[in-house]
Amino acid sequence: MEVIIQPTAGRAADLVAQLVAKWLREKPHLVLGLATGRTMENVYSRLVQMHRVEGLDFSLCRTFNLDEYIGLGEGSPFSYRHYMHQHLFRQVNIDLRNTYLPDGAAANLPAACRRYEDQIREFGGIDLQLLGIGAGGHIGFNEPLSALSSRTREKALTQTTLDQNGPLCGGDPKTMPRRALTMGVGTILEAERILLLATGASKAGILAKAIEGPITSMISATALQLHRSCRIVVDEDAAQKLEGKEYYRWLLQNEPEWAPYRDT
Ligand code: F6R
């Protein structure tokens, strides 16, 4: 695991967008795992900008989103499909037939989950998985006690998640979906590379547990410690509680492998 501390949330999002763009240029058929949420909006706006200004090409890439709510009507403005259209898909030259999300409207949800796993496998697996981290430490919607080997499946959302995401779902607790389909922790860990972005002081406590605490299914983000190529990009506010932050800073400034990331 590598932790990269950037001075501001904006610089952290810039760095994540630059890394995505670099890998997309190197491999136009990139299979890209996507996250939603407030943190990712900054990354997507930068990728859209790169598409417009530098011609960053999404035409051959395939995307698989981490999760989708269950029970939202087709075209709901609160669905993650809608979020992705708004923040990325309709603003770049991606082929919508190459964009996949778990089907939260399927009549047979377990079958939809199996199909999703099959589709990821058919394209050779995820090359790069983008992640955020929830207030309770989830990645995707892998809530406490998610097995570290779990696959795409249905999960009930915790009150912490309902409180976190309620405002994004219109703010009415009665209409907020309480269940979702999510890639499992095991599905996420099979990605070739992982890039997690966390910004803001509200994430500092859970981030320190995820990066430096013991691995536990109570906090699914701790499973990332098992991954061989996981980069965590944070701003100063989110880095506040990291015990090793001076060491992470030293590595960024001194290790040759970090040189490309110093002035971004
Ligand atoms: C969303 C997802 C979640 C979010 C997390 C952080 O697709 O997978 O794990 O990344 O809840 O959300 P924000 O960025 O809104 O704090």
pTM for the model: 0.97
Helix (H) or strand (E) holding 251: helix 245-254
Backbone angles phi, psi at 259, to 5 degrees: -50, -45
Sheet of 31-34, strands arranged across: 2-6, 230-235, 193-198, 128-131, 31-34, 62-65, 99-100
What value, to the nearest 5°, has the Cα angle with vertex 160 and ends 213 and 245? 30
Smallest CA separation from ligand 1 atom 10, residue: 132
In angstroms, what is the span from residue 42 Cα to ligand 1's centroid?
13
Question: What's the domain count of the chain?
Answer: 1
- pLDDT for the residue numbered 235: 98
Helix (H) or strand (E) holding 3: strand 2-6
The answer, yes or no, to whether any atom of ligand 1 lies below 6 A from the CB of 36, is yes
CA distances to 17, 35, 75, 203, 228 from 51, in Å: 11, 19, 26, 30, 30
- Contacts from 49-53 at CB under 8 Å and sequence distance 24+? 50/17, 50/21, 51/91, 51/92, 51/93
Specify the CATH number for the domain of residue 11.
3.40.50.1360
- pLDDT for the residue numbered 160: 94
The pLDDT confidence band at residue 263, using thresholds 50, 70 and 90, is low
Q: Take residue 47 and report the two structure tokens written for it.
A: 């990728």
In angstroms, the CA 104 to CA 102 distance is: 6
The answer, yes or no, to whether any atom of ligand 1 lies below 6 A from the CB of 139, is yes
In angstroms, what is the span from residue 254 Cα to ligand 1's centroid?
32
Q: What is the pLDDT of residues 22-62, one digit of tens each?
A: 999 999 999 999 999 999 999 999 999 999 999 999 999 99
- pLDDT for the residue numbered 128: 98
- Confidence check: pLDDT of 264 > 60: no
- Confidence check: pLDDT of 95 > 80: yes
- Confidence check: pLDDT of 136 > 80: yes
Domain that holds residue 65: 2-261
Mutate to test the pocket of ligand 1, among 34, 40, 155 (most ligand atoms within 8 A of CB): 40
Residue closest to 206 by CA, chosen among 239, 248, 249: 239
- pLDDT for the residue numbered 119: 98
Q: Take residue 96 and report the two structure tokens written for it.
A: 């919508």
From 45-59, 89-103, 163-177, the region with the lowest mean pLDDT: 163-177
In angstroms, the CA 239 to CA 11 distance is: 14
In angstroms, the CA 146 to CA 105 distance is: 22
In angstroms, what is the span from residue 40 Cα to ligand 1's centroid?
8
